[in-house]
Chains A and B, each alone.
Chain A
Amino acid sequence: MRELRVTPIKNGTVIDHIPAGMALKVLKILGITEESSDSTVSVAMRVTSKKSTLKDIVKVEDRELLEKEVDKIALVAPNATINIIQNFNVKQKHKVELPEVAKGILICGNPNCITNLREPVETEFVVVSKSPVRLRCVYCERDLENIVDAIT
């Protein structure tokens, strides 16, 4: 049986296998919480997956994701899949992947880090461990304590 808790969409993107409760973070990453957003979105939270654990699903109509958005999603949902829907069918599916270096998608949590001054640079974090995810700032060499809150 196909798991369709919400109405099928014709074209768009389904982000599946988001850890239960993290859908709101994904919405924030996609800018859907902004007033200016005009995307049609449906969200299913705490649905039972095939592995009988709970997961969240986000479906965005008529929109594909940018590379930076996918990189950010990988930080909050390391096992998520991105499904491109075309004409009601899954046209493409891929798992998100943590980049080796997270560039320009996070703010350093260290207030004494030079990247928090008004300087013309993108932040840069090296992934020092994938599970659990640990990120180290290339500039101040400190580990990021709260990754989710640091996402821009």
Chain B
Amino acid sequence: MSMQFEGRDILSIKDFSVKEIMHILKTAKKMVPAAKGERRDESLRGKVLATIFFEPSTRTRLSFESAMSRLGGRAIGMADPEASSLKKGETLADTIKMAESYADVTVLRHHHMGAARLAANFSAKPIINGGDGAGQHPTQTMLDLFTIWTEKGKIEGQKVALVGDLKYGRTAHSLSYALSLFGAKLYFVAPPTLQMPKEVVDDAKVGKVRPKLTGDLNDVIGKVDVLYVTRIQKERFPDPQEYQRVAGLYKVDVGLLEEAKKDLIVMHPLPRVNEIHPSVDGTHHARYFEQAFNGVPVRMALLALILGAVE
């Protein structure tokens, strides 16, 4: 399969090969100076991105807008699509056809799974999935991969522990699929009630190495190269005391990190609640703020590729 990005939709990480993802990551690396504002890049001058977010988001939306501006383009958005179209009974298909006539590319966030794929059926211009409920969030997965790749030099063979709510967390699902595709070694650390769904574990076997499942963070802390922490949501627990107990088991603090490899990096898709103690921020392990920044160069790369500004 030859690599063709111009005009392409970004809907699910499963639509991309390792080779294609690597091309995106390498393109993103070249975008870093412009993403930091150290270099001017006007390659998307005159281009318009529509952001349609049916669900609130800070990071994803801001980093898409920043990415578009850093490439000289403009972002337009609906103030509150929930109020402006859904309430009037407009279908998503119609909202998308409208956006298509105002912009060159659309990023969509929606609470229903598959919304972006549906949108792509109704738009000749590229659609980027900015998160579809419990489904996919491919640009998050790509910035996670970018972070591991730039910090570690390669993804293959890295020992990565995914920690927290692995049952409902879409970030963990897509990332585990992608990491196994790259040949990383996976550890799924979660209480039994929040462990990875069977389909995701099966999917993670596409790689050479089977993932290991455990309930105990202490089992893996000394072994892994990357600790990817996700939020455990209170709403998942009918009993608040049970929530307190479980959440406490998966708290990352300076004490825990004493057991870790020297070059372990700690990642988190943010926002965090109290999974990672603020005292970790100052250690050489912390990478979650870099990770959040990486959303900009990765999204710049995707926009530039699908709008044909770079090959």
A binds B: yes
Residue on A with the closest CB to B92? Answer: A119
Contacts of B199 in A (CB 8 A): 142-143
* B121–A112 CB distance below 8 A: no
A118 at the interface (CB under 8 A from B): yes
Q: How large is the interface on A (under 10, 10 to 19, 20 to 34, 35 or more residues)?
A: 10 to 19
Q: Which of A56-64, A71-79, A133-141 is near enough to bind chain B?
A: A133-141
Q: State which of B12, B14, B92 has its C-beta within 8 Å of the C-beta of A114.
A: B92
* A121–B113 CB distance below 8 A: no
Q: How distant is A85 from chain B, measured CB to nearest CB, in Å?
A: 41
Known: A139-B113, A139-B117, A141-B114. A112 touches B92 (CB 8 A): no
Residue on B with the closest CB to A123? Answer: B114
Q: Which of B133-141, B182-190, B245-253 is near enough to bind chain A?
A: B133-141
* A113–B113 CB distance below 8 A: yes
Known: A114-B110, A141-B113. A121 touches B118 (CB 8 A): yes
B262 at the interface (CB under 8 A from A): no
B279 at the interface (CB under 8 A from A): no
Residues in B124-164 with C-beta less than 8 Å from chain A: 132-136
Known: A112-B112, A114-B110. A141 touches B118 (CB 8 A): no
Q: State which of A115, A117, A140 has its C-beta within 8 Å of the C-beta of B135.
A: A140
B305 at the interface (CB under 8 A from A): no
Q: How distant is A99 from chain B, measured CB to nearest CB, in Å?
A: 19
* A139–B114 CB distance below 8 A: yes
A110 at the interface (CB under 8 A from B): yes
Most central of B12, B113, B132 by chain A CB within 10 Å: B113
Contacts of A139 in B (CB 8 A): 113-114, 117-118
Contacts of A132 in B (CB 8 A): none
The digit string for B190-234, where 1 denotes a CB below 8 A from any CB of A, is: 000000000100000000000000000000000000000000000
